[in-house]
Amino acid sequence: MELLFRVSLCLLTFIGKTFGDEIGIVKISCKEDEDVMLSCSFEENLRMTRFDWKKDGKDVLLCEYGEISPSKQDGQFRERVSHFTNQLKSGNASIIIKKAKVSDSGNYTCLHIDSKKSWKIVLTVGTCPTPSISILNEVNGGTLVECEAHGAYPKPTMEVQNSGNMTVAEAANITRNGNYFDAILQVVVTKKDHYHCVVKQEDICHQIYSKPTFVHVTPGTCPTPSISILNEVNGGTLVECEAHGAYPKPTMEVQNSGNMTVAEAANITRNGNYFDAILQVVVTKKDHYHCVVKQEDICHQIYSKPTFVHVTPGNTTEENTTEERSGSSKGFIHGGGVGVGVVIVIAIAALL
């Protein structure tokens, strides 16, 4: 209270010297449920004149020749506003609002009715809720944490910071809740550390911190994939790539010797905290093939050793069949020729 009083007097003195008879503007901020003083003073003896306080058109306090009229006060301020009766003679028209509420925020005018001199005070009554941080669950690549704060005013911003006070996320979801604001911020952290939330307001509390919370992150793993030849199938050779115990969730590809992808639709399954990947593909050209496991955040790309895959040409069976058919025909013709020759020899022998 003493601090607010001193600040108000300093602002009033400074603005009074600067503006003289012109309108002065004072900005005051306080926390909800605190008493706040709105400063105003004139050179006249206020027991002999009149002054009037208004807030955005509402009657706050009317003092006429040293007397106030409670019946002329708006219900929002009745029995909550007082003035300095013993200082009216010296021109002090300041008032005190008891247990200020967010709804008391706004533009106030202190008018000396007779001289038309006036002061303007912009009052901001704020709240400073302490944010909380909680661990939701493990997700692909890290751990999902959530910060939240409810009932803030004015509209705040929110951040998640690590143990070094470095910001790791700040795009909070801010929603209106009556006169107040709620803030929620979710982020996936990928490194184990102590994290905390920070609610920021320029005019009131500036920065409010949650208690730090240690967040465990399952360490990334980089299993080396393997490639194996299963069997020949119609038109090519079936090969299989596999990798077990990967984290975060990977993708998998089969590539040829030119590093061209020939297959990538792997079957990825959860195995506890980790992932297994299997990919089968029929290759139709003989070449050296290898598997590639990809992870964005950890190992990026892990390669298997290349394996040479032999592929029997797809038309081999058809060619052999044709050749066998041709061979049968030739044999029949040759056999027929030998038979005719034997008949001729026998006929000649009979004539002799």
DSSP state of 49: S
Mean pLDDT of the 198-206 span: 89
Partners of 167 in the beta sheet?
A: 161
Question: Per-residue pLDDT for 191 more than 50?
Answer: yes
Q: What is the structure's pLDDT at 23?
A: 57
Mean pLDDT of the 173-197 span: 95
Look at 165-169, 188-192, 298-302 and tell me which has the smallest mean pLDDT.
298-302
Mean pLDDT of the chain: 83
What would the two tokens of residue 259 be?
């590093």
How far apart CA 62 and CA 113 sit, in angstroms, is 10
Q: What is the structure's pLDDT at 314?
A: 60
Question: Per-residue pLDDT for 87 more than 70?
Answer: yes
Question: Per-residue pLDDT for 256 more than 60?
Answer: yes
More confident residue, 341 or 112: 112
More confident residue, 336 or 46: 46
What would the two tokens of residue 6 be?
């001193």
* Spatial contact of 16 and 93, defined as CB atoms under 8 Å apart: no
Closest-CA residue to 49 (of 95, 110, 93, 114): 114
Q: Using CA of residue 219, residue 225, residue 230, residue 235, what is the dihedral sign?
A: positive
HSE at residue 41, side-chain half, CA atoms within 13 A, is 20
* Spatial contact of 289 and 262, defined as CB atoms under 8 Å apart: yes
Task: Give 184's pLDDT tier (boundaries 50, 70, 90).
Answer: very high
What would the two tokens of residue 54 be?
């208004």
Question: Per-residue pLDDT for 19 more than 60?
Answer: no
Query: What does pTM read for this prediction?
Result: 0.59
Mean pLDDT of the 266-282 span: 91
> What are the DSSP E strand ranges found in 140-235?
142-152, 157-161, 167-169, 173-177, 180-189, 193-201, 206-209, 213-215, 226-233
Question: Per-residue pLDDT for 229 more than 90?
Answer: yes
Q: What is the structure's pLDDT at 64?
A: 92
Mean pLDDT of the 53-68 span: 93
How far apart CA 121 and CA 110 sit, in angstroms, is 8
Q: What is the structure's pLDDT at 211?
A: 95
Q: What is the structure's pLDDT at 220?
A: 78
Residues in Cβ contact with 67 at an 8 Å cutoff, skipping those fewer than 6 apart: none
Closest-CA residue to 52 (of 33, 36, 34, 74): 74
* Spatial contact of 105 and 97, defined as CB atoms under 8 Å apart: no
More confident residue, 204 or 23: 204
What would the two tokens of residue 102 be?
């967010």
Give the whole-number percent of the chain exceeding pLDDT 70: 82
Mean pLDDT of the 251-260 span: 94
Closest-CA residue to 26 (of 37, 12, 16, 7): 12
Which one-letter amino acid corresponds to residue 29?
S
Residues found in the chain = 352
Q: What is the structure's pLDDT at 199?
A: 96
* Spatial contact of 97 and 72, defined as CB atoms under 8 Å apart: no
